Homo-oligomer: A and B are copies of this chain.
């Protein structure tokens, strides 16, 4: 069965729109996201435009804050601190990469975890890993949501994660191994967890043998067709995080997008599998929208995030 990320993302957007509409109908302000961008990287400009469009599509207010390439680290830091304390902004993100003279770790570390809707700061990750309330970053959150929406249980299952990046592999592993914990409002997927988790990577020996023991495979290696059919147990769930460009003369663009999974041959063996594109990808941007609405709901009065 195909795990249709595009469809689920659409469904979630409709739910979010309904919730934001209800706020507006009650005469309340709507959630507001700020997106910080420095300089004019064309790819970054596109990503930012898409995020703002996705917000507006569900009624979330989105504000682009653009700085010129020559902003100093100190000035940017001051701006981050201003956003931290601006009560009219529920959450904000800093589009990466930043210019070379600005240290990303310094900027990210300065973001208040209660507004860190990208979930990328060390504190957000540390909190999530310790089972405290925190924003989860887009890809692991999107995958968790996808599993939840298709009612794929993780308790006692063997999950094999291929890839150990800070934004996918490590947080994904941590979320799936831990006890389901008390969640923030509206985190339907938070009860997933309790899995036995193995993290594999480029130094792993006999990857095939390990993968064949997996009930759920999450492949985030950035390597086209890394996961082949002989590495997959019958009835496994396969989540493909890869987005790779491969040359394709028959495509008008000269390339096509493929995942890290040999979809054609793996799909017949898998109980559930995500396509590329249309699987994990569409889920990541709704994660940001969900986090923003969550940040809006998380006020000093009623959110455990403000307890520590």
A307 touching B196 in the complex, CB below 8 Å, given contacts A123-B126, A164-B177, A170-B129 = no
Q: Is A199 an interface residue, CB under 8 A from the partner?
A: yes
Using Cβ atoms and an 8 Å threshold, which residues of chain B touch A204? 156, 196
**Nearest Cβ on chain B to A307's Cβ, whole angstroms:** 6
**Nearest Cβ on chain B to A155's Cβ, whole angstroms:** 6
Using Cβ atoms and an 8 Å threshold, which residues of chain B touch A122? 123, 126-127, 129-130, 132, 134
Residue contact A105 to B203, C-beta cutoff 8 Å: no
Using Cβ atoms and an 8 Å threshold, which residues of chain B touch A195? 203
Distance in angstroms between the alpha carbons of A197 and B198 in the assembled complex: 5
Q: Mark A264-308, 1 if CB is under 8 A from B, else 0.
A: 000000000000000000000000000000000000000000011
Distance in angstroms between the alpha carbons of A204 and B198 in the assembled complex: 12
Using Cβ atoms and an 8 Å threshold, which residues of chain B touch A200? 196
Using Cβ atoms and an 8 Å threshold, which residues of chain B touch A155? 203
Using Cβ atoms and an 8 Å threshold, which residues of chain B touch A308? 103, 105-106, 108-109
Q: Is A131 an interface residue, CB under 8 A from the partner?
A: yes
Residue contact A105 to B126, C-beta cutoff 8 Å: no
With beta carbons under 8 angstroms apart, the residue of B126, B158, B194 that contacts A121 is B126
Residue contact A198 to B196, C-beta cutoff 8 Å: yes
Distance in angstroms between the alpha carbons of A247 and B196 in the assembled complex: 32
Interface size class of A (residues with CB under 8 A): 35 or more
With beta carbons under 8 angstroms apart, the residue of B164, B196, B199, B203 that contacts A203 is B196
Per the 8 Å Cβ criterion, residues 89-135 of A in contact with B are 103, 105-106, 108-109, 121-127, 129-132, 134
Q: Mark A153-184, 1 if CB is under 8 A from B, else 0.
A: 00110100000101000100110011100000
Distance in angstroms between the alpha carbons of A125 and B125 in the assembled complex: 8
Q: Is A201 an interface residue, CB under 8 A from the partner?
A: yes
With beta carbons under 8 angstroms apart, the residue of B126, B194, B199, B205 that contacts A124 is B126
A125 touching B132 in the complex, CB below 8 Å, given contacts A199-B177, A308-B109 = no
**Nearest Cβ on chain B to A259's Cβ, whole angstroms:** 22
Residue contact B196 to A205, C-beta cutoff 8 Å: yes
Q: Is A210 an interface residue, CB under 8 A from the partner?
A: yes
Distance in angstroms between the alpha carbons of A204 and B197 in the assembled complex: 9
Distance in angstroms between the alpha carbons of A157 and B204 in the assembled complex: 7
A203 touching B156 in the complex, CB below 8 Å, given contacts A123-B123, A196-B210, A198-B196 = yes
**Nearest Cβ on chain B to A71's Cβ, whole angstroms:** 17
Using Cβ atoms and an 8 Å threshold, which residues of chain B touch A156? 203-205
Closest to A194 in B: B203
Using Cβ atoms and an 8 Å threshold, which residues of chain B touch A170? 129-130, 174, 177-178
Contact sample, A vs B, 6 pairs, CB 8 Å cutoff: A123-B126, A124-B126, A125-B126, A126-B127, A130-B170, A164-B177
**Given A177-B199, A195-B203, 11 other A-B residues pairs in contact with their CB atoms under 8 A:** A108-B308, A121-B126, A122-B134, A126-B129, A131-B166, A156-B204, A156-B205, A158-B210, A177-B201, A194-B203, A196-B205
